[in-house]
Amino acid sequence: MIDSDSNNRPARPHIVIVGAGFGGLACARELGRSDCAVTVVDRRNHNLFQPLLYQVATAALSPADIAEPIRKTLGRYRNIHVVMAEVTGVDAATHALLLNDGERLPYDALVIATGSDYNYFGHDEWRALAPGLKTIHEARLIRQRLLLAFERAERSDDSLERRALLTTVVIGGGPTGVELAGAVRELGHHTIKRDFRSLSVEDHRVLLVEAGNRILTAFPDHLQRYAHDYLQAIGVEIRLNARVEDVDRDGVTVNGETLRAGCVVWGAGVKASPAASWFGIAPGPGGRLPVDDRLRVHGVEDVYAIGDTALALDSKGRPLPALAQVAKQQGEYLGRALKLTFQGREPETFSFRNRGNTAVIGRNAAIFDFGRWTLKGRLAWFLWALVHVYLLINFEKRLLVTIQWISRYVTRQRGARLIDENLSP
């Protein structure tokens, strides 16, 4: 442990990174084997490839396929120290990070990469009933509820109860909601048809609820229409202009209509972590920390923010989207910039390069938006798979996921359909 006494700071510059997601890890790796001492702080002991988390929730992959201990990921870098702890605040005046065990961690530069959480728009009591999809625990909880609903429906003699148990409501028509809705529909269709003797595929329903008048609004119109038509073709019911008014143990109320459901999932908007409250500054839209073109937090010395936590603007003054590629590019840039800064050199400003936006809709169906040109269908799906395998943390994960995908594509079986009797539904 690095000495927490500010009078005993190491001779090398000490950089503290809070958060080991895409941005935090990219920054740490860039600083690996540098002349800086680096400490990575995260409340969990693992990093997670969130774009494939929905596949854990739908039993296509296991948690270990997309997660890895942070210490293993960064173990090769002898100048990097990992601390598993909860951050409670920052003493910006003395350059110290405050941890939940009372420790004060001194820093010469502080990087905030704490990501985002789902926004329940003032109804946090809905979280337990309609979990989001940001953590392994949430993915396992959704999987548990889906599989338990199938089992309970199999034993029910009440047709209305059986139909309710076999109904899943996904709230939010963004990429997460669309990907999850398509995957749940495929899971239910093939699992019920193959493995459940008392259930009918016709009773399985997936409802995608969106408050706006379109799904996937970040994509061009023709890709939105393609996704909409594909989901409807595989049996997903799409409710547009649908406002969620209540969530309870029996389901959700939408525009005055009660929809009974065995599982409800939330994906209707995100907000940044509460990092702005650590500095007593006014956050930007979505609770994000305003940063300049070198990712420095406005009004706070030696503090930087990247990823979903940061409100960074592009060359036209528009906020950069909360995407993994943005966080990764910012992390890589900031790692290089900090090395230059501590060498007494001025780094260039950050410039985001858009490498395309993508979403998978279902088997052999995905969309890609590269700006000047777009792609949809089987080729887009194949490209989506290649990109996501490539972006996994290491070769071991790439191999594991590739094998699982090939097996699932050929057999249509999902090998991670495990119910944990110790996990409360």
pLDDT digits (tens, 9 = 90+) for 136-150: 999 999 999 999 999
| Residues 6 or more apart in contact with residue 200 via CB below 8 angstroms | 192
Instruction: Please state whether 306 falls in left (phi above 0), alpha (psi between -120 and 50) or beta.
Output: beta
How confident is the model over 382-391, as a mean pLDDT? 95
Is residue 421 pLDDT above 80, yes or no? no
pLDDT band at 3 (very low <50, low <70, confident <90, very high): very low
Higher pLDDT, 8 or 21: 21
End-to-end CA distance of the chain: 38
Q: Say if residue 125 is exposed, middle or buried (CB neighbours under 10 Å; 0-12, 13-18, 19+).
A: exposed
**Mean pLDDT value across residues 370-385:** 95
Of 232, 186, 242, 166, which Cα lies nearest the Cα of 210?
242
Is the confidence at residue 10, as pLDDT, over 80? no
Confidence of residue 27 (pLDDT cuts 50, 70, 90): very high
Q: For residues 215 and 212, what is the distance between their CA atoms, to the nearest angstrom? A: 7
The per-residue b/e assignment along 162-180, b for 16 or more CB within 10 angstroms, e otherwise, is: bbbbbbbbbbbbbbbbbbb
Mean pLDDT, range 110-130, rounded to an integer: 95
Does 90 score more than 80 pLDDT? yes
Task: Give the chain's domains with CATH numbers.
Answer: 6-43+85-118+270-342 (3.50.50.60), 124-268 (3.50.50.100)
Where are the extended beta strands (E) located within 291-404? 303-305, 310-311, 357-362, 365-369, 374-377
Per-residue pLDDT at 135 exceeds 50: yes
Catalytic residue, from 68, 138, 179, 210: name it.
179
Active site includes 179?
yes
Q: Which residue has better confidence, 300 or 282?
A: 300
Which residues share a beta bridge with 144? Answer: none
Q: Tell me the mean pLDDT in the region 117-134.
A: 95
Whole-angstrom CA distances from 357 to 20, 202, 308 are: 23, 34, 16
Pairing relationship of beta strands 263-266 and 46-48 according to DSSP bridges = unpaired
Cα 116 from Cα 97, distance rounded (Å): 20
pLDDT at 289: 95
Q: How many CB atoms lie within 10 A of CB 337?
A: 24
Identify whether the C-beta of residue 130 lies closer than 8 Å to the C-beta of residue 266.
Answer: yes
107/16 Cα distance (integer angstroms): 6
Q: Which residues pair with 275 in a beta bridge?
A: none
83 class by beta-carbon count within 10 Å (0-12 exposed, 13-18 middle, 19+ buried) = buried
pLDDT 10s digits, 285-305: 888 999 999 999 999 999 999
What mean pLDDT do residues 101-115 have? 97
pLDDT at 4 over 80: no
Residues 6+ apart with CB under 8 A from 279: 90, 92, 289, 297, 299, 300, 303
Q: How far is CA 55 from CA 35, 146, 185, 193, 360, in A?
A: 40, 13, 12, 20, 11
| CB neighbour class for 156 (10 Å; exposed up to 12, middle 13-18, buried from 19) | middle
Q: Nearest CA to 361 among 238, 192, 211?
A: 238
Mean pLDDT within 269-291? 90
Structure confidence at residue 280 as a pLDDT band (50, 70, 90): confident
pTM reported for the whole predicted model: 0.92
Q: How far apart are CA 60 and CA 179, in angstroms?
A: 13
For residues 346 and 200, the answer to whether their CB atoms sit within 8 Å is: no
Please check whether residue 248 is in contact with residue 123, taking contact to mean a CB–CB distance below 8 angstroms: no
pLDDT bracket for residue 334 (50, 70, 90):
very high
CA–centroid distance for 314 within its chain: 22
